[in-house]
Amino acid sequence: MRTTIKITTAVAAAAFTLGLSACSAPSDTSSSSEKKGKDADPEATLVVAASPTPHADILNFVRDNLAKKAGLNLKVREFSDYVLPNTATQNGEVDANFFQHKPYLDDFNKKNKTDIVPVVNVELEPLGLYSKKVKKVSDLSDGSTVAVPNDATNEGRALKLLADNGVIKLKDGVGAEAKLSDVEDKKGVKFTELAADQIPSRLADVDAAVINGNFAIGAKLNPAKDSIALEKADGNPYANFLAVKKGNEADPRIAKLAKLLNSDEVKKFIEQKYSNGAVLPAFGPVKG
């Protein structure tokens, strides 16, 4: 499901420079606190950018059920891509974002010279391999086409999933940082690189596709039942977290939201809403 937004000129310009675009919904830049960090007004509205599912779903639960009692005025703005939430956070269009994992953020900061930092882990969405044409991984053979995300971190993660399930072989010592050039044996598989959010709609065009958990959910795919291979949760470094521009970690509103996102109520919400295992609670500090 695509959710539309409206962005201010500054963010639109940044998005244009990156060759991207977004659709529109009401903008409310005035709701973001003028003062930042520890000096931010604790009563000002906290604006958080998020992918629609599951990130905005979790934030909306906090807003509707927990925020008022904690003295937090929370506004959620939904973005449907993986670039604009960071652009908006860096530019001050929003106060924080919730949609990404550490490897992706590290790569984004390096490439865009941004200084966005994680605050607290919230949840994990296992990456899955899906198909409308084959029933099991072993059915993929010479000439099969597999779609993978085209951003560096998610592509590496996708290649590792394929290698772990015998679809390809990677060079010795290469893991989730893999690139297509690290594929030692494709076993006849041909890759189609696409933006992560476009892959679900193209699933029928390929023999199989590696899809991020949130986009799988949005496409009505059940990771536990519909995937032919699923990433393991144990020791997984791809937990999604609340993030802010460096210097805003001490914002009292951010501290309140971080505590709420790691609460028993949110844990119960995630486990009940995503009982198919598509989203798992992954609370605690961000490592690395």
pLDDT tens per residue, range 117-162: 999 999 998 899 999 999 999 999 899 999 999 988 899 999 999 9
10-residue mean pLDDT profile of the chain (288 residues): values are 35 39 38 73 96 96 98 97 96 97 93 98 94 96 95 91 94 89 90 96 98 89 92 82 97 98 98 89 89
Contact 208, 134 (CB under 8 A): yes
Which pLDDT score is estimated for 186? 79
Which pLDDT score is estimated for 25? 37
Query: How far is residue 171 from each of residues 15, 192, 229, 248, 287, measured CA to CA in Å?
Result: 36, 20, 21, 41, 26
Secondary structure of the chain in the HEC alphabet?
A: CCCCCCCCHHHHHHHHHCCCCCCCCCCCHHHCCCCCHHHCCCCCCEEEEECHHHHHHHHHHHHHHCHHHHCCCEEEEECCCCCHHHHHHHHCCCCEEEEECHHHHHHHHHHHCCCEEEEEEEEECCCEEECCCCCCHHHCCCCCEEEEECCHHHHHHHHHHHHHCCCCEECCCCCCCCCHHHEEECCCCEEEEECHHHCHHHHHHCCEEEECHHHHHHCCCCHHHHEEEECCCCCCCCCEEEEEECCCCCCHHHHHHHHHHCCHHHHHHHHHHCCCCCCEEEEECCCC
Which pLDDT score is estimated for 152? 84
Which pLDDT score is estimated for 32? 54
Measured distance CA(251)–CA(233) in Å, rounded = 31
Query: How far is residue 26 from each of residues 7, 30, 94, measured CA to CA in Å?
Result: 8, 12, 13
Residues 6+ apart with CB under 8 A from 87: 11, 14, 15, 18, 93
Residues 6+ apart with CB under 8 A from 282: 121, 122, 123, 124, 236, 239, 240
Which pLDDT score is estimated for 14? 41
Query: How far is residue 256 from each of residues 32, 45, 163, 231, 271, measured CA to CA in Å?
Result: 16, 12, 41, 32, 22
Secondary structure of 159-200 in the HEC alphabet?
A: HHHHHHCCCCEECCCCCCCCCHHHEEECCCCEEEEECHHHCH
What one-letter code names the amino acid at 240?
N
Domains, the chain, in order of start with CATH, read: 9-125+237-284 (3.40.190.10), 128-230 (3.40.190.10)
pTM more than 0.85 = no
Which pLDDT score is estimated for 175? 80
